[in-house]
Structure 1
Amino acid sequence: MKAVVIVFSPSGHTLTAARMIRKSIEARGGTADIIDLTKDDTLLFASDKRENLAAKVGAFDVLFVGAPVYAGHAEHTVLRTIAMLPSPDEKRSKIAVPFISYGGAHSFVALEEMGRALKRKNYVPVLGIKLASFHTLSRSFRTKISEDRPGDAERRVIEDAASKVVDLCSDRESIRDGSASFAYTKMPMRFILKILSQEKIHAKFKTVSIVYEKCRACKRCIEVCPVNNFVFADGIVSVKNRKNCIL
């Protein structure tokens, strides 16, 4: 069995989950390739990113797609990537598993959004995985949120999901759409998040800029930015495009 795991991981925690998925698939006799969108301009912004994605994805028996939760939603880079995916065919199975990592108290509508996006491309989300992960912004807090996660508890969730997926791949007559279970967020939060998109919630914070009086051209911003939004030329760091910022 061949799995492909597509992941976008600004803080590294969703990538940790992707590696857990790969290990679980391999432990059950399969293989798994991880396609990491993070800092990959060929998949994020290149004019031929759709073709590049299709080439990297190749053939598979099951597709995993992972995203962090941003402001209650699935991070939009992943949703855009799902929209670029080639549809299932003789080389690509329709079996899909979205997974999300969330650092707060709830994962809200992120998993539901990923399920809908996959179905629009004719994939069948057979199950979904939601995983607690370290809330990166809590590094400066006295109490860290979900420190050391994803950890053993999340690994057990992944191993259970991997077993179910492996069984499905050997019994394709049992494939069923499980996305109805992703709609676990109650009103009025569902209504609020429908009105307030990720972009609307984050828009006022997207003011990334260089304070040149303090900039030492250390290039740390270039190293850490998950969407390669900084460039260094002629001894000066500059912002490529403020619209690309994901905070």
Structure 2
Amino acid sequence: MTIRVLLADDQELVRSGFSLILSMEDDMEVVGQAGNGQEAIALTEQTQPDVILMDVQMPVMDGIEATARIRQEYPETSVLILTTFDREDYLFAALEAGASGFLLKTSDADDLVDAIRKVASGLALLSPEMTLPLIARFVQSTSRGKENKQGSGPELSPEDAFALSSLTPREKETLELLAGGMTNAEIASTLFLGAATVKTHVSNILAKTHSRDRVGAVIFAHRVGLVS
């Protein structure tokens, strides 16, 4: 299957460089180039890309706002945020907007191509080493003031409480390991399960917690107190 990619960056030289890199991949096709967020939204409607490489700082409309609108209007399109700046506020805003990944423009070409494939397949790009501590901090910052009066843990919304109760003990174990940064193969080895079984558990977790991808599941795990 060919992955349809839309490039959104206000620097033409950057777009040209990305386009050249992706043109060398047999399974990728650049279907459009946008110079700002507003153009990215219009081109998303026209070209129906699988993945958008989205810059953050752009004129007219920035990449964060464009990501939020695209994810709302075109939920089948995944967004991979690309930025020059390694800033936590950008990462947090990107996650809130619905981005599936966050990558620095200084990354290697192979990392970029691998990230696009992961995002296109429904996985999250964010590496555990770089982002899990940030995700934990993100959840903590959005959960301040929600501790119950006894201070025994986060006060769950009815939706989160129902989702948590719907998970089987094995699915909770799987989610805890997933939130700890393990791959499916590592989870399978730790729990002495087959790869297909772990894949089923992860799919069930995403469905039951209403998580779009693994990043969403990690955020859920922190929010409900499965991991700290």
Q: Is the helix fraction higher in 1 or 2?
A: 2
Q: Higher relative contact order by CA 8 Å / sep ≥ 6: 1 or 2? A: 1
- The two structures have a TM-score, normalised by structure 1, of 0.41
